[in-house]
A = this chain, B = another copy of it.
Amino acid sequence: MHILILGAAGMIGRRLTKRLIAEGKLGETPIDKITTFDVFPSQIHSDEIRIEDIAGDVADRSTIESLILDRPDVIIHLAAVVSGEAEADFDKGYHVNLDGTRQLFEMIRAQEDYHPRVVFTSSIAVYGAPFSGAISDEFLLAPMSSYGTQKAICELLLNDYSRRGIFDGIGIRLPTIVVRPGKPNKAASSFFSGIIREPLAGLEAVLPVDDSVKSWLASPDAAAGFLIHAATLDTAPLGARRCLNMPGVAVTVAGMIEALREVAGDAPVARIRREPDPAVRAIVDNWPEEFDPARALALGFTADPDFASIIRAHLRDQQK
């Protein structure tokens, strides 16, 4: 089996790639080859599995064509301009997040007798206020950002291309992923990781929203697990609605801080500095707070048990 990972150099892409290499198979099928693609080389190596490491623009036609001509069995599409950047740069967001994805779908359509599994990473940013209760897969897609709009459009395309038998698509709407390692990125949700990661590393972290802000969170490991499960499950039960809310942990910022205190004591908590940012607040206010992921749970997707476990997983990762 040959797996193509678009966006493989990113945080989730790297984790996914390494886990696939470690497992050596996807479901029951041995993996022969993984193509890692991103803006930068992923530089992930394996002794057992052939890794082809390619750098380029996911929205570039000839680049995508060459990847698809290789006819990977499974395509996991993680490449995207993040929410804050897609809002700041209208053209770049639409170019990469919409045109890049649509071009990928079109390249698959252009191949004869080629119907791969396509796993698309969508986002809970496809939803927008007003909300009423926990969000199920039947809730209206009403994004309040260009990023969410682009993801929602790609979901519609994925459903239509799958309905027409062009490929076997599945979209998963990732919760906000915490704790991201490394540095803050341009996602409006970046602070959710920052207020855990920075204090644990002895650094100050800025909290731009109120303690009452509630969010739907999953660990990087859970995200990699969602993607692998999406790549292997039977898509027939999905019917025509191939995009799913993933299970997560619903927690307020106050709850996150309490879990941080529980796991690491008072000192890290004291390093969180409250500095409200209306721009971040405006984006986050339009994100949903809680989900009803019944459909994903019934299909076998599994979430983290609670937020303290997410922090502990981050600490374990840091010690590797």
Shortest distance in angstroms between A287's beta carbon and chain B's nearest beta carbon?
13
| A contact residues, total (Cβ < 8 Å) | 22
* 27 pairs, A vs B, C-beta closer than 8 Å: A90-B109, A90-B164, A128-B240, A138-B140, A139-B140, A140-B140, A140-B141, A141-B156, A142-B159, A142-B240, A142-B241, A143-B156, A143-B159, A143-B160, A144-B163, A144-B240, A146-B160, A146-B164, A149-B156, A149-B157, A149-B159, A149-B160, A152-B156, A153-B153, A153-B156, A153-B157, A156-B156
Closest to A151 in B: B156
Which chain A residues (130-172) contact chain B, with CB distance < 8 Å?
Answer: 138-144, 146, 149, 152-153, 156-157, 159-160, 163-164
> In the assembled complex, which residues on chain B have CB atoms less than 8 Å from the CB atom of A164?
90, 146
Closest 10 CB pairs of A and B: A149-B160, A153-B153, A149-B156, A138-B140, A152-B156, A153-B156, A140-B140, A146-B160, A142-B241, A144-B240
Copies in the complex: 2
Closest to A144 in B: B240
Known: A142-B241, A143-B160, A153-B156. 12 other contacts (CB 8 A): A90-B109, A90-B164, A138-B140, A140-B141, A141-B141, A143-B159, A144-B163, A146-B160, A146-B164, A149-B157, A149-B159, A152-B156
> In the assembled complex, which residues on chain B have CB atoms less than 8 Å from the CB atom of A157?
149, 153
> In the assembled complex, which residues on chain B have CB atoms less than 8 Å from the CB atom of A160?
143, 146, 149
Mask, A84-123, CB within 8 Å of B = 1, is 0000001000000000000000000100000000000000
Mask, A234-246, CB within 8 Å of B = 1, is 0000001100000
Closest to A132 in B: B138
Q: Which residues of A pack against B, CB within 8 Å?
A: 90, 109, 128, 138-144, 146, 149, 152-153, 156-157, 159-160, 163-164, 240-241
Complex Cα distance A140/B146, Å?
19
> In the assembled complex, which residues on chain B have CB atoms less than 8 Å from the CB atom of A152?
156
> In the assembled complex, which residues on chain B have CB atoms less than 8 Å from the CB atom of A153?
153, 156-157
> In the assembled complex, which residues on chain B have CB atoms less than 8 Å from the CB atom of A142?
159, 240-241
> In the assembled complex, which residues on chain B have CB atoms less than 8 Å from the CB atom of A241?
142
Complex Cα distance A156/B143, Å?
8
Complex Cα distance A128/B90, Å?
30
Complex Cα distance A241/B140, Å?
10
Shortest distance in angstroms between A107's beta carbon and chain B's nearest beta carbon?
14
> In the assembled complex, which residues on chain B have CB atoms less than 8 Å from the CB atom of A141?
140-141, 156
Complex Cα distance A152/B139, Å?
15
Shortest distance in angstroms between A84's beta carbon and chain B's nearest beta carbon?
15
Complex Cα distance A143/B152, Å?
13
Shortest distance in angstroms between A112's beta carbon and chain B's nearest beta carbon?
15
> In the assembled complex, which residues on chain B have CB atoms less than 8 Å from the CB atom of A139?
140
Shortest distance in angstroms between A81's beta carbon and chain B's nearest beta carbon?
15
